[in-house]
Structure 1
């Protein structure tokens, strides 16, 4: 088991991030779907009476998705797994500002593969020592990683000039560009996503390598995604949650269509 907590700071309010994150998930899903691969949304509905974070949260929005992702899996895993096993299932309970996501591979790995992502969103610069209320044992094994959307390096394949926070200035809010190493201490508003990733891949001889690959992939995903959330601000700022639910319904239909046509799209695995 490998536990890492990624802390991503953004020049947004916690309320703004809820809309921006959901908008960007819908857009990113479309950008990663095509040619038989991508995201299939099976459920997107309210939930109640599901206790989260020690019972502090118990209602919100539940989603169930299947990711068909052969090209997103590194070659050394593709060689080991049957072709029909290259899909993962994602269940998410969004009780904002707390969210819990579980990713599994029920068709092949079953209980031997689980990724749990717990996200907590607060109006600070990432200074809270234990926002997820971890036990002393888990705190000892947790590694904290700060993600700087302006200054962290990304791959050439992931770079897009219109998704560069050091160049973007919002016409709607006047925020940006994010300049200098200390930008997060000089912006208002400010908030941080605390994303706790716990992964288990029980396969003798491969566990450490795969768990490290998963954590590296999550860091890459969080970095690219939050650059998009910020740089797409003028596309989502001012939308309501009703607007977002309508967008999600339209996105589901578009994903179903896109998945069965065109070419494979989006982020590929680093082999």
Structure 2
């Protein structure tokens, strides 16, 4: 990966196309609901991009991309996209893709062993957690064996925070519980694992100030700006991006739900200082990922 040639690094993209066929576990209905929430016709029509197609899309735009699946088998019943498969495809496209993995913390020490193997044998750089989809509080001690393995291997953690489009508008919210994704729970994780980088994903509505407080207070906590068009960013988020947290804010799109084209176009139109824009778009991720 030639970082100097890239215009940006997208810290938040999903490996979303069905990993197994046919899907009879409710996954298609879930994607249709998600597509409706994000007004994403590709998801509604079952035309989600493959990881290879994602690589081609980002290569054309000269944007690096961190890509990951989400292991939510226990809570949703959806078969997970195998971490090894995502990592292999990322390795084939290492000029543009950076592999993260996902492991349900409920797997305990088995999950910790998997995390170590993925880092050592597959070059995985970080791990994605979705507390609402995975049904756990990030500071639950049962997750700590997995965090310990990740921290010892020098990898990064990325946690969904705030409301989610997953289950939005569906009956019972698809049984998703928003309470798990309050970013304040990451404060305990950051204190207990002070050398493990933690990314709080998304503008964390309705807990935006909690997310800003944790990132300001804990040196190892960053915020990615994915999942929302920048035109909807609250004023206080823009203020902190321009000041106290300018070295800790990261560009992320939430592909394929939100495209980088849309996100970057809207980012150009908000009041971000000229000297801060390159930090958000590439330099902060470059430093965090040690590229």
Q: TM-score, normalised by structure 2?
A: 0.27
Choose between structure 1 and 2 for higher RCO, CA contacts under 8 A separated by at least 6 residues.
1
The structure in which a higher percent of residues are strand is 1
Larger Rg: 1
Higher helix content, 1 or 2: 2
